[in-house]
Amino acid sequence: MRDDITGDLVAGLTVGVMLIPQGMAYALLAGLPPIYGLYASLVPLLVYALFGSSRHLAVGPVAMVSLLVAAGVGPLSGGDAGTFVELSIVLALMVGIIQFVLGLARFGFITNFLSHPVLTGFTSAAALIIGFSQLKHLLGIDIERSSHVHEIVLSAAASIGGTHLATLLVGVGSILVILGLKRWNKTFPGALVVVVLGTTLVWYFGASATGIKIVGTVPGGLPSFYVPSFDLEMIQALIPVAMTIALVSFMESIAVAKVYATKHRYKIDPNRELIGLGLANILGSVFQSFPTTGGFSRTAVNEQAGARTKIAAVISAAVIAVTLLFLTSLFYNLPKTVLAAIIMVAVFGLMDYKEMKFLWRVDRRDFFLMSGTFLATVGLGIEEGILLGVVMSLVIVIYQSSRPHVAFLGRLPGTNTYRNIARNRDAIPDEGICILRMDSTIYFANAQYFSEVVQSCSGRGENIKAIIIDAYPVNGIDSTGIHALTDAIRVFQDQEIEVYFAGVKGPVMDVFRRSEIEAMIGPDRFFLEIYQASKAASDNFPVQKDG
């Protein structure tokens, strides 16, 4: 118990200190005043601690969601700062409602529709976009807001001559300090160090003297209760980005939560996670928060610093509350280039080069799926990229489902064991018999393919007199599959080729009886093992012997 309290205290303080500069940086990335980053780090963190299922997940602003907020809200705000804030808060409410409803409806399985290659491609592309979007703060130049890398790069190149040297030096120096401290100790709050150093530097020399752009006045006090005004037209406009954030943020959150749940041997409930994150966003929105979720880096620090229970999250929230009440004036001279440095270091770590190499080596199809999502996100935009990635995933699933693995089997010498003749050179086909196995449930998507493969048996030898279907991998068959199988059997009967089954499972056999397939070929044509079916088939027709 004492170890738990000590670990939670250290972790809570560490993450709370980390959240201060990170939250302000991610608010800036979202296009909001930095104070909203602190608001988003308070109430959602507490609410998730009450309702979520992870003991280690640290909820708050994250880079990817902040970028989605900027990309989704920016075009709708008309350049008005007040409208931008209002829309961002409404967006948090909508995201929360979507997640909460999905959780109540037990839709946690939706994580299956965002495959790992899609997430890798999307995350890597988003990291690239986020990183380049901070060039304006790092260089001290004006760059038009965009979610397309090529537009950001072209705009930066056109304005590169106006780079503010002092801003660039402070920004690059901050990046080097954070990376150096991270290499020395991953849990050390490097972001806070550069915030202190950068703020002290500007305070000492003066913002006007250095020409470095600063955060300026940061309002003090806890966030007040606030109900944003919205209308049907606004909701309709925000639905696409709200759905995107709801799904992407849930995926990001549950992915990291599962890592540490596995490490510490407890379970994560996807539906409870949806409810916890949904309530965090709903209640966060009425206290002026923009959309939040569980973050990779903060959760890693939380666990490494010794967090054992959700008390760590409560302590982190207390640190934020103290900061809001008493310390916001200290951030007046905080350089925006320092916040840009914090963001860039955080997001470029999300580019998963190792996973790219792994996919290229192990599964080229998944590699191209990842690459397609990456290119779509970079070239078309954030929402379009993730949508196209999901569509490509579903197309691949449908294609794979429609053409499942099929094996033609032969007997291993001296045994009653049958194996795929394409993978086992010793496997010898039984004379006059074609034996095949399809490793899938037979249903409307693959029924035609199944029928074609079965009928191709008659062309695999000159004297094929019997066909044996190894049905052991078949867990179910629908009406379309039954029709396809019936048609194939009739074709074989016309050719005087007998059909046998081996290893048919009970539920499938029930369907065969109800559909009269059993009666069509005879109940004596069904066997438990392939060798039994092969012997029965051989006994039913004369086999020409050599000599």
For residues 168, 172, 178, 179, the Cα torsion angle rounded to the nearest 10 degrees is 160
Per-residue exposure over 105-119, b if at least 16 CB sit within 10 Å of its own CB, e if not: eeebeebeebbbbbb
Q: What span, in angstroms and rounded, lies between the C-alpha atoms of 46 and 320?
A: 11
pLDDT, mean of each 10-residue run, the chain (547 residues): 74 85 90 94 95 92 89 87 93 96 87 75 81 87 78 85 91 92 81 89 85 87 87 90 90 83 86 95 96 86 82 92 92 89 79 84 89 87 79 84 91 93 91 92 91 83 86 93 92 90 94 90 93 91 49
Q: What span, in angstroms and rounded, lies between the C-alpha atoms of 128 and 123?
A: 9
Q: How many residues does the chain have?
A: 547
Beta strands 433-438 and 406-411 are: antiparallel
pTM over 0.85, yes/no:
no
Asked whether the beta carbons of 502 and 470 are under 8 A apart, the reply is yes
Q: Which helix (H) or strand (E) holds 118?
A: helix 116-133
Asked whether the beta carbons of 30 and 382 are under 8 A apart, the reply is no
Beta strands 406-411 and 466-470 are: unpaired
**Predicted local distance difference test score (pLDDT) of residue 461:** 65
Asked whether the beta carbons of 227 and 93 are under 8 A apart, the reply is no
Going by the DSSP 8-state scheme, the letter that residue 327 receives in this structure is I
φ/ψ (deg, to 5) at 386: -70, -35
3-state secondary structure 464-507: CCEEEEECCCCCCECHHHHHHHHHHHHHHHHCCCEEEEECCCHH
CATH fold, domain 406-539, is Transcription Regulator spoIIAA (3.30.750)
Strands across the sheet containing 498-502: 418-420, 406-411, 433-438, 466-470, 498-502, 526-527
**Predicted local distance difference test score (pLDDT) of residue 516:** 81
Asked whether the beta carbons of 67 and 228 are under 8 A apart, the reply is no
Per-residue exposure over 73-100, b if at least 16 CB sit within 10 Å of its own CB, e if not: bbeebeeeeeebbbbbbbbbbbbbbbbb
Asked whether the beta carbons of 350 and 255 are under 8 A apart, the reply is no
**Predicted local distance difference test score (pLDDT) of residue 547:** 37
Partner residues linked to 411 by β-bridges? 418, 428
Q: What span, in angstroms and rounded, lies between the C-alpha atoms of 347 and 120?
A: 13
Asked whether the beta carbons of 245 and 95 are under 8 A apart, the reply is yes
Secondary structure (DSSP) of 32-101: S-THHHHHTTTHHHHHHHHH-S-SS--EE--HHHHHHHHHHHHHHHTT-HHHHHHHHHHHHHHHHHHHHH
Q: SS3 of 294, please? A: strand
Task: Return the structure tokens found at 458.
Answer: 């008659």
Domain ranges of the chain: 2-397, 406-539
**Predicted local distance difference test score (pLDDT) of residue 543:** 47
User: Measured between alpha carbons, how far is residue 409 from residues 417, 429, 462, 472, 503 in Å?
Assistant: 10, 7, 17, 13, 14
CA nearest to 70, candidates 61, 47, 356, 183: 61
- Can you say how many angstroms the Cα of residue 442 is from the centroid of all Cα atoms in its chain? 30
End-to-end Cα distance, the chain = 84
Asked whether the beta carbons of 318 and 12 are under 8 A apart, the reply is yes
Asked whether the beta carbons of 19 and 294 are under 8 A apart, the reply is no
pLDDT digits (tens, 9 = 90+) for 13-69: 888 887 888 899 899 889 999 999 999 999 999 999 999 999 999 999 998 899 889
Using only C-alpha atoms, the chain has a radius of gyration, in whole angstroms, of 31
**Predicted local distance difference test score (pLDDT) of residue 544:** 47
pLDDT digits (tens, 9 = 90+) for 286-342: 999 999 999 877 887 788 777 888 899 999 999 999 999 998 998 899 898 998 888
pLDDT digits (tens, 9 = 90+) for 149-159: 888 888 888 88
